[in-house]
Amino acid sequence: MSGLPKIDTEGLKSFIPDDEIFQWLEKTKHPDAERVREIIRKSLDKNRLDPEEMATLINADSPELVEEIFEGARELKRRIYGNRIVLFAPLYVGNECVNRCAYCGFRADNTEVHRKTLLSEELVAEVEALEDLGHKRLIMVYGEHPKYDAQYIHDTVKEVYAVKKGPGEIRRVNINAAPLDVDGFKTVKSAGIGTYQIFQETYHRETYKQVHKGGPKSDFLWRLHGLDRAMEAGIDDLGIGALLGLYDWRFETMALLYHTIHLEKKFNVGPHTISFPRLEPAIGTDIEALTKKHAVSDFDFKRLVAILRLAVPYTGLILTCRESTELRNEMLGFGVSQIDGGSSIGVGSYSQKDPEAFKKSQFLLGDNRSLDEIIRELCEAGFVPSFCTGCYRKGRTGEHFMEFAIPGFVKRFCTPNAVLTFLEYLNDYASGETLAAGLKQIDRELEAMPESKAKDELLNRMQQVREGARDLY
Ligand code: SAM
Ligand code: SF4
């Protein structure tokens, strides 16, 4: 066991300019409606926005302008991304942790949580249970602990890819784990991961210090530069995020943009995805005290998602299904591209029916709908659930960027692949009711496609799926 990487932050500086962010937020107060419209148009013309422009949208808080921002986000989603929503599930591998993040149930000094790391056979049982639900795409989640070093992450990813139950298989594994050193990231990359996700939690240094009370994660700069090291190791599919509720959402949203610009400037590639989880209650944790000042209302949450959609039009936006159906469907319309479904966030809780599972959970889930129910609701709301992992397996990293940047990409690849993987799901896993709703949605999608060679090809492949072929892309 080689343990945790040695932290070395010599020469590192923060690329989040706090003062500049506050200045932009101050300078752009009470914006002119025409200026707001000009910024929305810039985004619809497929340009990433600058900090001054994002700050202007943040300050455009009259009901009329907020509605124009929402409509801008909807229009961008319609023009670029279509109706597809990619589904994934989190898989918690172990909740042992040496850090003391005040908001997290897994923190080292939380005596109420039951510690658990999946044994190899338990990991296999979890993956089988996820495959039985129909999942093809996972995000594996780890506490920060010497046990979960780069080699361990690599080995567990490999184990997951090897599990095949019935027609099930996991085709893409993403990672949410502590930042590694460059060699560690190289090791993890060699297991064939998709995205490596690290959330900064809060970009506000003072708040960061207050809530990270001990352990390697309390080093702001080591974490902030984590994705730079991942890039240096050759992982260019990166996920950034902020945990909302710790500090002012306006600042955090601006900081996510600065992080994006930093990656663009330094590596010529922005983040693949942006996440914006809101703080959830956690066992043994006083979340209310933590969010007293900065809890994010549903309305502001919608605003920040729409603003992020406009500001960084090329990234995937990830929403967890803990949000209410109504809010979620609205935000899907703004361009959220991925959601989790049927999630269970206790270690071992997909395969074990443990009434005390919540004691091994990082936080408490408000939404316990099954994947089947979520899929049915998505269809009823006019979305096409997708389990596509085609780009990743064709060696095309940064699929959201390609969807955005290459004219016709979504029509050529994403929509047909969404339909094919969804049809697989419907044939193999759906309940009768979901099957009916799903087939109706596929019909609607086909009707909207003009007659073409591509459509004939899709119809032909759909027939192959009905006859038992799988994984066509
Ligand atoms: N240990 C690694 C780390 O901290 O980066 C990865 C796993 S950690 C469990 C994954 C993410 O969970 C954290 O980055 C944080 O944003 C989120 N999280 C922690 N506590 C939470 C809570 N109470 N509600 C919602 N999300 C939370
Ligand atoms: Fe550990 Fe991550 Fe939870 Fe912090 S957020 S206590 S590092 S699992």
330 in Cβ contact with 308 (< 8 Å): no
For residue 108, the ligand 2 atom closest to its alpha carbon is 6
216 in Cβ contact with 99 (< 8 Å): yes
What is the model's pLDDT at position 398? 66
Which distant-in-sequence residues (6+ apart) come within 8 Å of 184 by Cβ?
A: 5, 149, 150, 233
What is the model's pLDDT at position 325? 78
Residue 142 CA: which ligand is closest? Answer: 1
Residue that has been written with the tokens 């027609």 in this structure: 167
Which distant-in-sequence residues (6+ apart) come within 8 Å of 180 by Cβ?
A: 5, 150, 187, 188, 226, 229, 230
- State the chain's mean pLDDT as an integer: 92
pLDDT digits (tens, 9 = 90+) for 149-195: 999 999 999 999 999 999 999 999 999 999 999 999 999 999 999 99
Q: How far is the CA of 302 from the centre of ligand 1 (A)?
A: 21
Per-residue pLDDT averaged across 98-106, rounded? 96
What is the model's pLDDT at position 159? 98
Q: Whose CA is closest to atom 9 on ligand 1?
A: 143
What is the model's pLDDT at position 360? 64
Q: Is the torsion defined by CA of 460, 462, 467, 473 positive or negative? A: positive
For residue 287, the ligand 1 atom closest to its alpha carbon is 23
pTM, two decimal places: 0.95
Give the pair of three-digit tokens for residue 84. Answer: 């597809």
CA nearest neighbour of 379 among 418, 414, 322:
418
The ipTM (two decimal places) reads: 0.99
Query: Mutate which of 106, 176, 322 to test ligand 1's pocket (most atoms within 8 Å of Cβ)?
Result: 176
What is the model's pLDDT at position 250? 98
Q: Which residue has the higher pLDDT, 326 or 57?
A: 57
Phi, psi of 254 (to 5 degrees): -60, -40
Q: Whose CA is closest to atom 6 on ligand 2?
A: 107
375 in Cβ contact with 435 (< 8 Å): no
pLDDT digits (tens, 9 = 90+) for 209-229: 999 999 999 999 999 999 999
- Confidence band (pLDDT; 50, 70, 90) for 1? very low
Query: Mutate which of 144, 211, 280 to test ligand 2's pocket (most atoms within 8 Å of Cβ)?
Result: 144
In terms of C-beta density within 10 A (0-12 exposed, 13-18 middle, 19 or more buried), how is residue 460 classed?
exposed
Q: Whose CA is closest to atom 14 on ligand 1?
A: 199
Per-residue pLDDT averaged across 290-318, rounded? 95
pLDDT digits (tens, 9 = 90+) for 399-448: 666 676 666 666 777 888 899 999 999 999 999 999 999 999 999 999 99
- DSSP alpha helices (H): ranges in 28-62? 33-44, 51-59
Cβ(212) to ligand 2 under 6 A? no
Cα–Cα distance, 403 to 413 (Å, whole number): 9
